Amino acid sequence: MSNFILYLAPFLIALIFSLIFAKTLILFGKKYKLYDKIKENKIHRKTIARFGGVAIIVSFLLAIFLSADLVFDNLKWGIVVSVLVILFFGIYDDLKNANWKKQLMGQVLVALIMIYAGLQVDYIANPFGGAEFRLDILNGQIFGFSFSILGSLFVLFWIVGLMNAMNWLDGLDGLSSGVGFIGAMTMFFLSISVLVNQPPLGILAIIFAGSILGFLFFNFNPAKIFMGTSGSMFLGFMLAVLAIFSGGKIATIFLVLGFPILDTVFVIIARIKNGNSLFQGDASHFHYRLLNAGWSQKKVVIFIYSICFAFGFSALVFGSIGKIISFFVLFLIMFGINYFLELERK
């Protein structure tokens, strides 16, 4: 019972705060006309409140500060500082429509903050057994700060990569937030499992889940509020960090977010093939293509939810080889969807 309360209380605090802040921002948006801009490349033809990411982030921060069971070490303070940076850059982007260079600068800054706070990956386990792949064999030092060069580069690309994957996924009502919630709950169950058994990590994950769920209540189709850049990047950042916190269970998040990660890869390949800019938004993402094929928003979103849930569950129950097989199956599914959509287009 005590363990149940340990996780239920912070979850409810984050959930209630998120519901209150999201509803407040909806009313605030209507009063001061802070709407998402209607553009030709967007599917919405009516004004919808934005800055929902503020509700997610603020509720998350308040809940972790109110949790008496969380001890703030360098890594947790690193999360707080990083999240505030994400909030600043996200709101700036939503107001000024910052170019990709400024967005990337903010993402790199956030990753560097976490590296300085002590987030590191020393090795990557060999899924086939045998010696692991060491990342701490080459070290550097800047202004007295020692760090693993390869490990730090891995953390940098991992955080920046997931922040962009979740940002690019945020195209339909409830899509990015729902996938983020599935990822957060997967990390929660992994954290309290016998394999990991890290209650503080479980509290962080369940607070993260609660802050998303409260927002998702207003974000699911038909959406009353959007999360904006701050929200989507916050989701990617937290999932990236929680995966490393959990003892480097990166394969777990890689499976949960397999759809948006592979979608990102397919989009990049398509843009290179067509000679388009990698940083110019278009309708080449799977969720847009499924929409163009005649699917409704809800059908597309629930379909992607199902894929993320199924492979998130497989990540919790399967070992290393099972995860590799699962990812191969996911790749075949994505390849099949791509083939189907290409036939529909022709």
Q: What is the pLDDT of residue 41?
A: 46
Residue-wise pLDDT tens digits, 89-120: 888 887 887 788 888 999 999 999 999 999 98
Q: How far apart are CA 341 and CA 345, in angstroms?
A: 6
For 43, phi then psi, to 5°, come to -85, -15
336 within some domain = no
Could you say which DSSP state residue 123 is in?
E
258 within some domain = no
Q: What is the pLDDT of residue 24?
A: 93
Q: How far apart are CA 29 and CA 23, in angstroms?
A: 10
Mean pLDDT value of segment 33-47: 58
Mean pLDDT value of segment 334-346: 80
Torsion sign (Cα): 276, 280, 283, 286: positive
Mean pLDDT value of segment 138-164: 89
Q: What size, in residues, is the chain?
A: 346
Domain containing 146 equals: 2-247
Burial status of residue 99 (CB atoms within 10 A of its CB: 0-12, 13-18, 19 or more): exposed
Q: What is the pLDDT of residue 315?
A: 87
For 142, phi then psi, to 5°, come to -130, 120
Let me know: does 268 contact 129? Beta carbons within 8 Å: no
Burial status of residue 284 (CB atoms within 10 A of its CB: 0-12, 13-18, 19 or more): middle
Confidence category of residue 37, pLDDT binned at 50, 70, 90: low
Confidence category of residue 7, pLDDT binned at 50, 70, 90: very high
Total domains present in the chain:
1
Strand runs (DSSP E) across the chain, as ranges? Answer: 123-124, 133-134, 139-142, 145-148
Rounded alpha-carbon distances, angstroms, from residue 137 to 150, 217, 246, 331: 8, 47, 22, 32
Residues 6+ away with beta carbon under 8 Å from 222: 173
| Residue 226, SS3 per DSSP | coil
328 within some domain = no
Residue-wise pLDDT tens digits, 237-276: 999 999 998 766 788 888 899 888 888 888 888 888 877 7
Q: What is the pLDDT of residue 63?
A: 97
308 within some domain = no
18 within some domain = yes
Confidence category of residue 32, pLDDT binned at 50, 70, 90: low
Mean pLDDT value of segment 31-36: 66
310 within some domain = no
295 within some domain = no
Say what the pTM is: 0.92
Q: What is the pLDDT of residue 270?
A: 81
16 within some domain = yes
Average pLDDT, the chain: 87
Mean pLDDT value of segment 50-64: 94
Let me know: does 207 contact 249? Beta carbons within 8 Å: no
Residues 6+ away with beta carbon under 8 Å from 226: 36, 48, 49, 50, 52, 170, 219
Q: What is the pLDDT of residue 320?
A: 77
Q: How far apart are CA 161 and CA 7, in angstroms?
A: 29
